[in-house]
Structure 1
Amino acid sequence: MDSQQQFKRRFSFEFFPPKTEQGKEKLQAVRDQLAEVTPDFFSVTFGAGGSTRDRTIDTVLSLQQQGISTAPHLSCVGGTREEIGELLDLYKQHGINRIVALRGDLPSGMGASGELRYANELVEFIREHSGDTFNLEVAAYPEFHPQARSAEEDLQNFARKVKAGANSAITQYFFNADSYFYFIDRLEKMDVTVPVVPGIMPIVNFSSLVRFSDMCGAEIPRWIRKQLEAYGDDTDSIRKFGEEVVTDMCEKLLKAGAPGLHFYTLNQAQPSLNIWKNLGINENERISF
């Protein structure tokens, strides 16, 4: 963890683009609540193609205009170099200076994966097209990418993204801090030393958490899963237990030198804010990188 301790801490919140006018109004309220704690930036997930892509762009530009730096996710699936280049130019024009560069998953119904196949190729293209305009975030997988053939291959894939020009990384969420520590130790042995910020998923709904985790390969430790199962439909107990578990893990991560936290909000403010307040995060220990 030594390499991570050299970085100042930063904190951020992630949204997904709403599909309806009601969803837009809800996100605006969530944004306003989270803005009160002055995060370093917001990020917005990416949908490839058509109206889904447009919703991402609209959400990013709307949030950026409201005074807190906003980082769009950008996936290379289903897109041409020309299309990605036009999007980069649009974001630059609106003062966007941070992008989360991902391979992404091909949406159902889209037959072609696009001209760029992997995240390292996307990072290379962004650097060729836009130079150092953007701080480039990439994804990291402490419990390893679900499609990786081996742990070693996954580490090499991450190293390729850094070599291509990534500045920093955000991890998939996890509930076992040791998986993060081990991942960082492996990177240090490879001389890969960019800041890797833990992704944090508040626990608010057990069935949704299981569904998300099965999709993305995040492990729910048996003791957490069993306790959540025991609560059944008692949502208050699930949230209280989840808040305690995730807060304890965040304290452990920060104490060991993690360079910040990135909250997967699922467009809800209070679960992330509760953890934030429990941690006592303040302005004096923060600066973005």
Structure 2
Amino acid sequence: MPQDSTTPIGQLIREGGKSFSFEFFPPKDEAGEDQLWQAIEALEPYRPTFVSVTRTGVGEHGTVRVTERIARETSMVPMAHVTCVGLTTGEIDLLLDQYAAAGVANIMALRGDPAEGPRAEWSPTEGGFTYARELVERIAARGGFDIGVAAFPEGHPSASSIEADADVLVAKARAGATFAVTQMFFRASDYFGLVERVRDRGVDIPILPGIMPILNLNAIRRQGELIGTSVPEEVAQRIGSAGDAAAVRAEGIALAAELCEELLAGGAPGLHFYTLNRSKATLEIFEQLNIPAPA
């Protein structure tokens, strides 16, 4: 039987064994729409624990539309991203009303990045929130939603230290978040270090590692510089010595699969795949992890 689209994701992660989940973003045009739904159709048979839909330049309408359609037309549990960027508290309340009416009961609560990028100075919207913790508190006080938050194995770019960054994650958990999903990373030790810092602070919130294979080294490096994720030298060397584009892709998939195996063996509660609205790379990783294709 399909899961109820309103099932709390935190509960699913804690009770359902190893979690596998996928992230999508609202497309900007008809071609992107086709690509997104091809990916959803290819990945749905693997029965993910949940799927998340980001907030992008398309704005809240795109996220609401895609998340609502997933809830209405698929067997998957959808989670919508809500950020503090450009929204007053009243506008956030109205957005939550839309999600509740659409049957979406899981929210990823994020501060969000300034329009100039993750490393730009944060300037809160007048009448809005300054911190993700405040958004979590607002959603938790309202009730009716399960709340996820972001985590950063190497620390958020604006954090003064990885210890201070762990304090922020702990504060979001104590404000009402029931699980966290990390930014992409490429060393299992960074993930396990984050989990240890949070556990040392007395918080047992499940933390899902976010996985993005390196299919283009220069592109990942540029993105990593923005979000505070480094590409380890040994990883760069393996990718760089692979050869042509096809060999680079194959090596990137192999590295991602190795990382997934290490994370699961070390006790990670599951894996969250950043799909970029495509299914091929994720399915290739599944094949290397011996996750069976649906019958």
TM-score, scaled relative to structure 1 = 0.89
Q: Is 1:97 matched up with 2:105?
A: yes
Paired letter, 1:47: T
Which residue is 2:277 aligned to? 267
Moved more, 115-124 or 54-63: 54-63
Q: Distance between the aligned counterparts of 1:195 and 1:135, measured in 2? A: 13
Which residue is 1:113 aligned to? 125
Which residue is 1:134 aligned to? 145
Summarize deviations over 1:185-210 as a string: whole Å, max 9, x none.
11111111110000000222222211
Moved more, 23-32 or 220-229: 220-229
Summarize deviations over 1:205-261 as a string: whole Å, max 9, x none.
2222112111111111101112323346x1111111111111011111111110010
Paired letter, 1:65: R
Which residue is 1:88 aligned to? 96
Which residue is 2:267 aligned to? 257
Paired letter, 1:260: G
- Selected match of 1:55 from 62, 74, 90: 62
Q: Distance between the aligned counterparts of 2:20 and 2:167, measured in 1? A: 27
Which residue is 2:73 aligned to? 66
Which residue is 1:143 aligned to? 154
Paired letter, 1:72: A
Q: Return the offset for 1:278.
A: 1.9
Q: Is 1:124 matched up with 2:134?
A: no
Q: Distance between the aligned counterparts of 1:174 and 1:236, measured in 2? A: 22
Contact 1:78 1:106 in 2 (8 A): no
Contact 1:73 1:102 in 2 (8 A): yes
Paired letter, 1:246: A
Q: Distance between the aligned counterparts of 2:242 and 2:110, measured in 1? A: 36
Q: CA RMSD in A?
A: 2.1
SS of equivalent residue, structure 2 residue 214: coil
Summarize deviations over 1:11-32 as a string: whole Å, max 9, x none.
1100111101110011110110
Contact 2:24 2:54 in 1 (8 A): yes
Q: For structure 1, which runs of at least 5 residues remain unmatched after alignment? A: 284-289
Which residue is 1:287 aligned to? none
Which residue is 1:30 aligned to? 39
- Selected match of 1:11 from 20, 31, 35: 20
Which residue is 2:224 aligned to? 213
Q: Return the offset for 1:52.
A: 2.4
Q: Return the offset for 1:280.
A: 2.8
The number of residue pairs the alignment matches comes to: 274
Which residue is 1:286 aligned to? none
Q: Is 1:246 matched up with 2:253?
A: no
- Selected match of 1:168 from 159, 179, 199: 179
Q: Return the offset for 1:108.
A: 4.7
Moved more, 205-214 or 222-231: 222-231
Q: Return the offset for 1:274.
A: 1.1
Distance 1:269 1:6, change over 3 A: closer
SS of equivalent residue, structure 1 residue 172: strand
Q: Distance between the aligned counterparts of 1:22 and 1:9, measured in 2? A: 33
SS of equivalent residue, structure 2 residue 240: helix
Q: Distance between the aligned counterparts of 1:6 and 1:36, measured in 2? A: 22
Which stretches of structure 1, 4 residues or longer, exceed 6 Å deviation after superposition?
none
Paired letter, 1:271: A
Summarize deviations over 1:143-178 as a string: whole Å, max 9, x none.
111110112211111111001000000001111001
Which residue is 2:198 aligned to? 187
Q: Distance between the aligned counterparts of 1:282 and 1:103, measured in 2? A: 37
Higher relative contact order (CA 8 A, sep 6+): 1
SS of equivalent residue, structure 2 residue 137: helix
